[in-house]
């Protein structure tokens, strides 16, 4: 019995230490950078959509296209390195949300589905972050096919009555999402939902 209790304590302590690392100060900073860089990507998407609709240049694009646009900015390569680190940080944070249930989804069927959603988001942003590093290295294209899809639906919208207004509206919504992500990065309110394991929950050997 003592042996089993000792093993259980070791497992619980390992869980505690791994979760402590996952919710550490540096990990929170990386998560905040991730939210901010995700906001930058959406800011570019929304701004380009609005500029397109009002006839001031711009273009319809998605996340990959926004990253290509950032690459064309002054000091674009440097900016992309920061964006890539942020996107990979956001991916890592999404995996932490899934693994450690930082949002309190639970372990029932509904909770598992929600946590799998975080994992899927993590995979998608890990791919996007990797693709961003490829652009910096000059070995990647950034996903032009998906940008073409964005251009297609925008062209359809522009042909509709009040088409430019609809595209502006979409752009404003995306800009609003960017502002929300910036706010989330700045306030870091998601920290309040973290529920780290406590040593008081461990079963001590007798």
Kindly report, residue by residue over 107-140, the tens digit of the pLDDT. Answer: 888 889 999 999 999 999 999 999 999 998 887 6
| Segment holding 100, helix H or strand E | helix 76-100
Q: What is the pLDDT of residues 22-47, one digit of tens each?
A: 667 888 899 999 999 999 999 999 99
Instruction: Give residue 69's region: left, alpha or beta (phi > 0; psi -120 to 50).
Output: alpha
Q: Please determine, for residue 87, whether its predicted confidence score (pLDDT) is greater than 60.
A: yes
pLDDT digits (tens, 9 = 90+) for 154-189: 777 777 777 788 888 989 999 999 999 999 999 887
Domains of the chain by residue range: 40-189
Contacts for 96 with CB less than 8 Å, ≥ 6 apart = 22, 23, 27, 31, 102
pLDDT interval class at 105 (50, 70, 90): confident
Confidence band, pLDDT 50/70/90 cuts, at residue 15: low
pLDDT band at residue 3, thresholds of 50, 70 and 90?
low
Summarised one tens digit per residue, pLDDT across range 147-162 is 666 666 777 777 777 7
- Per-residue model confidence (pLDDT) at position 198: 38
pTM for this one? 0.77
User: What was the pLDDT predicted at 60?
Assistant: 79
- Structure token digits, residue 52: 């397109």
Q: Give the DSSP per-residue string, 173-194.
A: HHHHHHHHHHHHHHH-GGGGG-
- Percentage above 90 pLDDT, the chain: 37
């Amino acid at each position: 019995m003592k042996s089993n209790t000792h093993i259980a304590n070791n497992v619980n302590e390992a869980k505690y230490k791994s979760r402590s690392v996952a919710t550490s100060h540096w990990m929170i900073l990386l998560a905040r950078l991730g939210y901010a860089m995700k906001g930058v990507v959406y800011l570019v998407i929304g701004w380009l959509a609005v500029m397109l609709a009002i006839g001031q240049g711009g273009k319809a694009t998605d996340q990959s296209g926004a990253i290509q646009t950032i690459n064309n900015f002054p000091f674009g390569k440097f900016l992309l390195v920061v964006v890539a680190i942020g996107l990979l940080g956001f991916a890592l944070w999404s995996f932490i949300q899934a693994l450690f249930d930082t949002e309190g989804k639970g372990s029932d069927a509904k909770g598992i589905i929600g946590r799998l959603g975080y994992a899927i988001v993590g995979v998608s942003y890990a791919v996007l972050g990797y693709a961003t590093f490829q652009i910096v290295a000059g070995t990647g294209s950034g996903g032009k096919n998906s940008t073409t899809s964005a251009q297609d639906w925008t062209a359809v919208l522009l042909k509709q009555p009040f088409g430019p207004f609809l595209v502006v509206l979409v752009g404003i919504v995306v800009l609003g999402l960017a502002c929300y992500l910036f706010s989330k990065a700045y306030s870091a309110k998601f920290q309040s939902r973290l529920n780290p394991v406590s040593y008081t929950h461990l079963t001590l050997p007798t």
